[in-house]
Structure 1
Amino acid sequence: METQHSAAKIVVGVDGSPSSQAALRWAMRYAGLVGGKVEAVTAWEVPGEASWSAPAVDATFDEEDAQRRLVDEVRTVLGEEGASLVRERLVHGHPVEVLVDAADGAEMLVVGSRGRGGFRRALLGSVSQQVALHAPCPVTIVRQDVHVE
């Protein structure tokens, strides 16, 4: 009996930061090693919906423009050929909830670490810390100074 295996799903959080770009490169390299597919996910919230600790979002938020920026960022980081292997998703919601939900059924969730420390992290919380605690799969946190070729 022949069994069909679907490609491993590798979810990566993308927010435009250097650490998320490093995470995207890391996720692509890992996907290549395990024969996986990368899903780049960006979360967005409307001002007033989020808690006080959420990142500020421009009141003139345009979902189409945000999707276009996500696709452009993936192309810039990975090039046309690499970007053609990535599925981009823009999802409404808090980044932790969006990434944890997206990681359902994934082999790996990859996020960047902005390297906030001390008091600021205690006040703001950390997306990478929260997804590491709540994700339904293993999580890799990539520092922005990691260079993956």
Structure 2
Amino acid sequence: MDPNGQERRVVVGIDGSPASYEALRWAVRHARLIGAAVDAVAAHELPGAAGWSAPPVDTDFDGAQAEQALADEVQTVLLGADDVRLREHVARGNPAEVLTEAAAGAELLVVGSRGRGGFTGLLLGSVSQQCALHAPCPVVIVRTDTTERT
């Protein structure tokens, strides 16, 4: 608990990339040190939501798939890390916006340096860059292969 009686939270973005898995491991270790809960957050966007034409999508099915994918990823990455309270959240929308909104009131927002999309040669992905610029709390950007296993 923080001085105001609120539960301490660390928010971490998960997108299925190796960097997001490293971020999740880092967030859990940090939360363990400070006595915080971890909110694992995944965002999903509907095809065509950004202006491109796409076939019709069943939004309920798409959301259920995203929730199942997050649960599977968390279970795989954090096998045996039962000592930290972890909550899973899936929201529809732009990943950077979803993460910065989820980070309101958090101790820290943790993201991987590179996600699944875009240009693989870049050192910093667009979502992590936007989070660093707009998050309402400190941001940690974790690179792949820089953390210990949980």
Distance 1:131 1:139 in 2: 7
C-alpha RMSD of matched pairs (Å): 2.6
Please give the secondary structure, in 2, of the residue aligned with 1:82. coil
| Alpha-carbon separation, structure 1, partners of 2:32 and 2:84 | 13
1:137 deviates by 0.2
Q: TM-score, normalised by structure 1?
A: 0.81
Aligned to 1:64: 64
2:137 is aligned with 1:126: no
> In 1, Cα distance between the equivalents of 2:51 and 2:97?
13
> What code does the residue aligned with 1:70 have?
L
Gaps of 5+ in 2: none
> SS where residue 39 of structure 1 aligns?
strand
Structure 1 residues 88, 45: closer, same or farther in 2, change over 3 A? Answer: same
**AA matched with 2:126:** S
Cα shift at 1:51: 5.3
SS in 2 for 1:71: helix
1:97-121 CA deviation, whole Å, 9 max, x = no partner? 0001000000100000128445x97
8 Å Cα contact 2:38/2:84 also seen in 1? no
Displacement of 1:81: 4.2
Give the residue type in structure 1 aligned to 2:139. V
Give the structure 2 partner of residue 18 of structure 1: 18
Higher helix share: 1
Query: How far off is 1:83 after superposition?
Result: 8.5
Where 1:144 maps in the other structure, the secondary structure is coil
How far did 1:29 drift? Answer: 0.3
* Structure 1 portions without partners, runs of 5+: none
* Cα 1:96–1:90 shift into 2, 3 Å: same
Residue identity matched to 1:49: A
Following TM superposition, by how much is the alpha carbon of 1:80 offset from its aligned partner in structure 2, in angstroms? 4.9
Tell me the SS of whatever aligns to 1:62: helix
Per-residue deviation, residues 30-60 of structure 1 (Å, max 9, x unmatched)? 00111110000000111111257xxx9xx57
Taking the TM superposition and a 5 Å limit, the aligned residue runs for 1:12-91 are: 12-50=12-50, 62-82=62-82, 85-91=85-91
Contact 2:28 2:84 in 1 (8 A): no
What is the count of residue pairs matched by the alignment? Answer: 138
